[in-house]
Amino acid sequence: MAGDKPALRYVAYAGIVLCLGMMAVGSWFLYRTWTFLNIPPEDPGRDVRFVIEPGQHFLTIARGLKEERLISDVKQFLAYAQDKQLTEKVKAGEFLLNTGWLPDRVLTTITSTPGILHRFTVREGLTWWQVADLVQEAGLGTYEEFDAAVHDPKLLAQFNIPADSAEGYLFPETYMLTRARENSAHSVAEMMVREFFKNAEAALGEKLPDPEKLHKLVILASIVEKETGDPSERPAIAGVYVNRLNRPMRLQADPTIIYGLGPSFNGNLRQSDLLDASNPYNTYQHDGLPPGPICSPGRAALAAAAHPEDHGYVFFVAKGDGTHHFSKTLREHNDAVGRYQKWGRNRKDYTSQKREE
């Protein structure tokens, strides 16, 4: 039996060593975890713009954060996020993070904030290609990507737009957006169309009509938008075009011709352009409304098209101060043209837009 004592002592020693080893490992693990949670990757820290794409896996995001020295350990960050049940809560977008932040702040920022928001303003009366230029300038996608989005059959079908483009449905508004996202141009187009339908019902003051009737209303509203210098005249101008459509008389709206000439129009509308019947948007040569909207109308123009002023005017001419003279007869209109256009355009203060008081 005495011979068993060394063996027992060996087992005891081994047990003690094992316990000490486990304690050491546990201590090392606890220290490593404490260090990860309480010591930033860099001190002092530096700002880093970090982009998270839609649908990106959390492990990929964590690796990217590690590469940018925004976290010090991928596996621990993943475990920390899993413990807080936040791995599926990450927002897509662009974030301003700092290498001097602790993991909790990094995780909170990418899961509970929208990221960096950029002001993106689209004013009333712009064509889709003018909006595409703005999208590209704002870093929200390329011109070509926005072009493809505006003409995407799936997007048009999604919103029941009876046309080959979303022209007229890109609602003019100031948006706060994140940039540098995959397919962001398509997201911008879809967001603008959604905004249109959200505002259209309010502008009309009633339930939206069927897609075909709504499309005609948008076409009329887009012409009213382009022809109006003084916002208060929108209902009156809408009334003129409704009266012409009911006569019937051709609309004879210069902005429709210009739209048909496309992005290459140089600002000089020639007599040959007015006579060009090959331009489907030439309302001097073709009856009725043009084939589609010619710009993005705002709420006021939509409301005017839906509720035009009831009057007998069928002509109007710019007076040079942003307002128009309305006429019921061709003789009165010709007199007004002579009064305001032939000599008025030589005035230094002549303008097509009403001046702000």
Q: Are residues 292 and 333 in the same domain?
A: yes
Q: Are residues 180 and 137 in the same domain?
A: yes
Number of domains present in the structure of the chain:
3
What does the CA dihedral 189, 192, 197, 199 come to, rounded to 10 degrees?
-170
Rounded CA-CA distance 18/310 in Å is 95
Rounded CA-CA distance 302/323 in Å is 19
Q: Which residues of the chain have pLDDT under 50?
A: 1, 3, 8, 10-12, 14-15, 17-18, 20-26, 350, 354-357
Q: Are residues 231 and 300 in the same domain?
A: yes
Q: Which of 112, 128, 151 is the last residue before a domain boundary? A: 112
What pLDDT, on the 0 to 100 scale, is given for residue 353? 52
Is-above-0.75 flag for pTM? yes
Residue 19 lies in a domain: no
Residue 11 lies in a domain: no
Q: Are residues 62 and 138 in the same domain?
A: no
For strands 118-121 and 174-177, give the pairing: antiparallel
Q: Which two tokens stand for residue 115?
A: 């990221």
Rounded CA-CA distance 65/74 in Å is 8
Residue 23 lies in a domain: no
Residue 37 lies in a domain: no
Q: Are residues 232 and 311 in the same domain?
A: yes
Residue 185 lies in a domain: yes
Residue 15 lies in a domain: no
What pLDDT, on the 0 to 100 scale, is given for residue 20? 45
- The enclosing domain of 100 has a CATH number of 3.30.1490.480
Residue 133 lies in a domain: yes
Q: Which two tokens stand for residue 277?
A: 């019947």
Residue 268 lies in a domain: yes
What pLDDT, on the 0 to 100 scale, is given for residue 54? 79
Q: Which of 170, 204, 238 is the last residue before a domain boundary? A: 204
Q: Which of 80, 112, 144 is the last residue before a domain boundary? A: 112
User: pLDDT tens digits, residue range 69-109?
Assistant: 999 999 999 999 999 999 999 988 889 999 999 999 999 99
Rounded CA-CA distance 119/123 in Å is 13
User: pLDDT tens digits, residue range 199-253?
Assistant: 998 888 878 999 999 999 999 999 999 998 889 999 999 999 999 999 989 999 9
User: Containing domain of residue 280, as a range?
Assistant: 211-346
Rounded CA-CA distance 69/87 in Å is 19
